[in-house]
Structure 1
Amino acid sequence: MSEEKSFSFTLFEPHRTRLPKNDQPAIEVRPNGRIVFNKQATQLLENNSFCMLGYDPANRALGILPLGELKPNTFPVRYAAKGAYIGAKKFFKHFDILPSQLLETAPFKSGEFIGITL
Structure 2
Amino acid sequence: MSEEKTFSFTLFEPHRTRAPKNDEPLIEIRPNGRIVFNKKASQLLENSHFCMLGYDPENKALGILPSEDLTPNTFPVRYAAKGAYIGAKKFFKHFEILPSQLIENTPFKSGQFIGINLTNY
Q: Normalising by structure 2, report the TM-score.
A: 0.86
Q: Look up the match of 1:107.
A: 107
Percent identity between the aligned chains? 82
Q: Look up the match of 1:32.
A: 32
The reply to whether residue 50 of structure 1 matches residue 87 of structure 2 is no
Structure 1 residue runs without a partner (length 5+): 1-8
Q: Look up the match of 1:5.
A: none
Looking at structure 1, the residues matched to 73 and 24 of structure 2 have their Cα atoms a distance apart, in angstroms, of 30
Looking at structure 2, the residues matched to 10 and 27 of structure 1 have their Cα atoms a distance apart, in angstroms, of 41
Structure 2 residue runs without a partner (length 5+): 1-8
Looking at structure 1, the residues matched to 80 and 36 of structure 2 have their Cα atoms a distance apart, in angstroms, of 10
Amino acid at match of 1:50: F
Looking at structure 1, the residues matched to 58 and 26 of structure 2 have their Cα atoms a distance apart, in angstroms, of 22
Q: Look up the match of 1:117.
A: 117
Looking at structure 2, the residues matched to 15 and 81 of structure 1 have their Cα atoms a distance apart, in angstroms, of 27
The reply to whether residue 79 of structure 1 matches residue 76 of structure 2 is no
Q: Normalising by structure 1, report the TM-score.
A: 0.89
* Aligned Cα root-mean-square deviation (Å): 1.4
Q: Look up the match of 1:21.
A: 21
- Report the 3-state secondary structure (helix = DSSP H, G, I; strand = E; otherwise coil) of the residue aligned with 1:40: helix
Looking at structure 2, the residues matched to 84 and 12 of structure 1 have their Cα atoms a distance apart, in angstroms, of 36
Report the count of equivalent residues.
Answer: 110
- Report the 3-state secondary structure (helix = DSSP H, G, I; strand = E; otherwise coil) of the residue aligned with 1:43: helix
Looking at structure 1, the residues matched to 95 and 71 of structure 2 have their Cα atoms a distance apart, in angstroms, of 21
